[in-house]
Structure 1
Amino acid sequence: MFETFFGAEKISLHSLESIEQGVPNIIVWAAPFMFFFVLLEYFISRWQNKKLYSRSETIGSTLVGLGNVAIGLVLKMFLLWIFIAIYNLIPWRMPFHWWTFIPCYILFDFCSYWAHNVSHRLRFFWATHVAHHTGEHYNLTVSFRLSWVQYFKIIFFLPVAFLGFHPIILFVTNQVAVLFQFWVHTEYIKKMPRIIEYIFATPSNHRVHHGSQEKYINKNYGATFIIWDRIFGTFQEETERPIYGITHNIDHKHDPIHINFHEYYDIIRDVKQADGWREVLFYIFGNPSDIDTYKRRKNGLLPITEEKKTEH
């Protein structure tokens, strides 16, 4: 039975195009429903005179989201080729069964936790994620702010592929995981029943992650399951309304190019001003909080004895 289940036939790369056509574009299908709920939230917030939306940020979020979907569609064939190549390489290939989606999703979310964690602690990866945190208003459109260069982080998810899950299962898992994160970007859903708050990354738990207060920074990385944060000590309960945005908020809030690449501009500027290779590597791969503290101290803006502040 073990050999039968883990001995699925290899997938011919000659059938790549037909397999690609068979992979559902769940996010594209869900787009009309997502825009419906965005409009619903927008009009309710206007009716209640709540300032949850900013015109420039909404334009920026929408353009970033559309660009991300387009890039995903372009890269779909290439990513599928990678997953099939890995699938053919290992001997413990699982056949396509719908229920393998469940363990795949749990393991994928575990890898997502670490990808998210590292993306806040290494500047190279922070540059692929910061776009998501640049919104100073928290609403459903923030879920559209997914970096155009986030696909670098595929390396964090390769272990799931090497476990032998079918490539189509992997693709469906990724899309469902992205879609799950849509509904958590709202202030209209308050705290949910305790058992749900304990297990899942609810709107309350994820609002903490977007908060710029010191106690909220670098907390609640879980994408679907908040249990990883509880296990690894990065959980923080929502105890006060978060102040959204990043430590140094950006200008040009409507510009998708600036939203996606402003951190790279800063990295290039810092590297040009670096004193030696050690500082160059620090500016590229250092912890954003340490880099921010170091630069302010170097420029005489931070006393030596002042406790460092953490970059969001």
Structure 2
Amino acid sequence: MAKEKITFEQIVNLDLPNLIIIATPIMIFLVALEWLFSYKDKKDYYDGKDTLTATFIGLVNAGMSAAIKVVTFGIILFFYNLVPWAIPHTWWSYILCLFWLDFWRYVAHRIAHENRFWWATHVTHHNSKKYNWSVSFRLSWTQHIKIVFFIPVVLAGFHPVVFFIVHQLAVLYQFWIHTEYIKKLPKPIEFFFVTPSHHRVHHATNEQYLDKNYGSTFIIWDRIFGTFMEEKEQPIYGLTKQVDSYNPITLNFHEWSDIVKDVRKSKSLKEAYAMMFTRPSLLEGVKNEYKEKEKVKV
């Protein structure tokens, strides 16, 4: 029996709740509470301008997500209807989807750190020298193109409703792990789930912590693929080449601007390609290599 296709009207008529928008006031309240406690405890966890900037970036991003909701629905529906199979819309499909989605979130996150083009869609999240709940709001305004990494989730046959709800829950999970107040949790939790300790490592610029702990909800992918690192020494947050600005436009587009400049200065298509897609941590070395080649030509 052929799978019954779902129409765009059917999904729209369901009027699915935007869990992130619903949770936003609660998250802002918790940020204020953490800020108050850090001030009371004389902890240097917050910077006023940094937090206001992060909140503004987050609110704009939430608005953009709502604005392009129709496009997102359209993309997901197209690929769901493309395949002849379907996973039954049952309670266990939500659990299965969470694991499959989380694997692709790991893949997307890892690529976003190891490829300059995709790093430009993610760097905004890392350009704070602080680590607190407000940092979870710092999501790039260009990150929405990363939906391409989640197409395999719907191609597996998960119902679009299952995908949308699980995806929102996965995004909300990221909020609580951005804090210094929660130290290491019991070993079974630390072994299986992403915790604040794991994610502090991910946000750190300490050499041994770079490009580690890409997991979103489950840390098992990092353990399997060799990118896991335990938190040992105090993390130092921010970027290896810091952007000292509170301007949301700068924080969202500085890497895109640098890519355009480097591509324009390129002397060949090969160099232009390297400037766009090289691993960020290797970029300076690649630039120097091309400079040396130019000197040899002269």
TM range (shorter): over 0.9
1:281 aligned partner, one-letter code: Y
Counterpart mapping for 1:4-19 below 5 A: 8-19=3-14
Answering whether residue 252 of structure 2 is matched by residue 257 of structure 1, we say no
Residue aligning to 2:296 = none
Offset of 1:271 from its aligned partner?
1.4
Distance in structure 2 (CA, Å) of the matches to 1:136 and 1:113: 24
Offset of 1:89 from its aligned partner?
1.9
Aligned-pair identity in percent equals 47
SS of the equivalent of 1:69 reads helix
1:153 aligned partner, one-letter code: K
Offset of 1:296 from its aligned partner?
5.6
Q: 2:259 aligns with which of 247, 267, 271?
A: 267
The TM-score, its normalising length taken from structure 1, stands at 0.90
Q: Mark the runs of 5 or more structure 2 residues left unpaired by the alignment.
A: 293-298
Distance in structure 2 (CA, Å) of the matches to 1:170 and 1:161: 7
SS of the equivalent of 1:205 reads helix
Offset of 1:97 from its aligned partner?
2.3
Q: 1:241 aligns with which of 220, 234, 244?
A: 234
Counterpart mapping for 1:5-84 below 5 A: 8-19=3-14, 21=15, 23-84=16-77
Q: Which stretch shifts more, 9-18 or 145-154? A: 9-18
Distance in structure 2 (CA, Å) of the matches to 1:281 and 1:65: 31
8 Å CA contact retained: 2:271, 2:290 = no
Offset of 1:74 from its aligned partner?
0.9
1:171 aligned partner, one-letter code: F
Write out per-residue CA displacement over residues 57-87 of structure 1, whole angstroms, 9 at most, x where no aligned residue: 1121111100110010011111111112222
Distance in structure 2 (CA, Å) of the matches to 1:94 and 1:140: 35
Counterpart mapping for 1:1-312 below 5 A: 8-19=3-14, 21=15, 23-253=16-246, 255-295=247-287
The CA RMSD measured in Å over matched residues stands at 1.6
Offset of 1:140 from its aligned partner?
0.3
The TM-score, its normalising length taken from structure 2, stands at 0.94
Write out per-residue CA displacement over residues 16-42 of structure 1, whole angstroms, 9 at most, x where no aligned residue: 4313x2x11111111121112101100
Write out per-residue CA displacement over residues 2-21 of structure 1, whole angstroms, 9 at most, x where no aligned residue: x6xxx6522123434313x2
Give the number of aligned pairs: 292
Decide which structure has greater helix share: 2
Residue aligning to 1:307 = none
1:291 aligned partner, one-letter code: L
8 Å CA contact retained: 1:133, 1:210 = yes
2:134 aligned partner, one-letter code: T
2:253 aligned partner, one-letter code: F
